[in-house]
Amino acid sequence: MWNAWLDLEVTEEDKKLEAIEGGERKKSKQEYNQLIAESIKEMYRVLKFDRWLSFVFAHKDPEFWHLILDTAENCGFEYIGAVPQKNGQTSFKKRQNPFTVLSGQLIINFRKVHTPKAVMKANLGMDMAEIIIQTIEGIIAKNDGATLEQINDELIIKGLELGFLDLLAKEYSDLTPILLENFDYDDKTELYTIKNNSKFKSHIDVKLRIKYYLISYLRRMEREKKKPTFDEIVLNILPLLKNGTTPENQTISTVLEDIADKVGENSWRLKQKEGQQLNLF
């Protein structure tokens, strides 16, 4: 496409250097691996420090994910994270195999830094259910509720990052039992949330937990046409924050001021934009 836009001739040398598995030249997986590795090394060489590399990943084989991550880390890149980019539709094959088929593509982000941190690979002896619960709670906290597709996407990324996607696909091909047992589901919004008056089972950043519980509580107060005071807010959410470090009132106040407006002398209501759509970052 870009050759057509720029009116560039595609030479035999260009085709020889193209990083592709199969294609007209029927390149092998080994050739693809070598070309990708050489490309990433060259990207690292020409990139300045504190600059970013975003890699589009759409291959169905997790082996290539690890090739990209391992090569980038060996060169000196730091893995920052991956985000899904949707193509607007979910295939039947994706619905049949949620953890082995990608809908859309993943954007893998790296940064060239002087002291990169390596991706920690999972110890396969760890409790798989614990990883799944932690991942689901994390995406629910970030989005104030999560759809099944968002949960699947997050688990795919986590499985790829930590190297247990094959076990995830084998042991948890159907998430329904674990979701229904541990989370609430809203038929109207199609969102899974933390069960009412329940705490996070895994460790979630304290400010993120506070924000999630504050928004949930203030939305409930809106439905009941109430405007709670700061003391009422603190007394209602503190019992839910016992899992992990208990925050001080000042921490709750700081988060509250970000997401809510003060009404009168000491009452609070959720900001309109927060009520419509939660934006954490």
2 and 66 assigned to the same domain: yes
- Look at residue 225 and tell me if it is in a domain: yes
What is the distance, to the nearest Å, from the Cα of residue 68 to the centroid of all Cα atoms in its chain?
A: 18
106 and 142 assigned to the same domain: no
Handedness of CA 176, 88, 170, 64 (dihedral sign): negative
Write down which residue in 183, 201, 219 finishes a domain: 201
Q: What pLDDT score does 51 carry?
A: 94
172 and 140 assigned to the same domain: yes
185 and 249 assigned to the same domain: no
71 and 155 assigned to the same domain: no
pLDDT tens track of the chain, all 281 residues? Answer: 667 777 878 787 777 777 777 766 777 878 888 888 889 999 999 999 999 999 887 765 667 777 888 888 888 999 888 887 776 665 545 555 555 455 567 888 999 998 887 665 554 445 677 778 888 888 898 888 998 888 888 888 877 776 677 667 667 767 778 888 889 999 898 899 988 877 777 666 777 778 878 887 888 888 788 999 988 888 887 777 655 455 566 688 888 988 899 998 889 998 875 444 443 33
- Look at residue 54 and tell me if it is in a domain: yes
Q: What pLDDT score does 198 carry?
A: 77
- Look at residue 80 and tell me if it is in a domain: yes
Which of 119, 114, 52, 108 is CA-nearest to residue 84?
108
The model scores a pTM over 0.75: no
The parent domain of residue 143 ranges over 127-201
- Look at residue 191 and tell me if it is in a domain: yes
97 and 9 assigned to the same domain: yes
84 and 176 assigned to the same domain: no
- Look at residue 182 and tell me if it is in a domain: yes
193 and 215 assigned to the same domain: no
249-259 vs 230-237: helix crossing angle, rounded to 10: 110
Q: 264 is written with which tokens?
A: 């009168």
74 and 171 assigned to the same domain: no
30 and 98 assigned to the same domain: yes
For residues 126 and 164, the answer to whether their CB atoms sit within 8 Å is no
- Look at residue 281 and tell me if it is in a domain: no
The count of domains in the chain is 3
Supply the CATH number for residue 245's domain: 1.10.10
15 and 30 assigned to the same domain: yes
Q: 39 is written with which tokens?
A: 């490309």
Write down which residue in 119, 136, 155 finishes a domain: 119
- Look at residue 174 and tell me if it is in a domain: yes
224 and 161 assigned to the same domain: no
Please compute Rg for the chain using Cα positions: 23
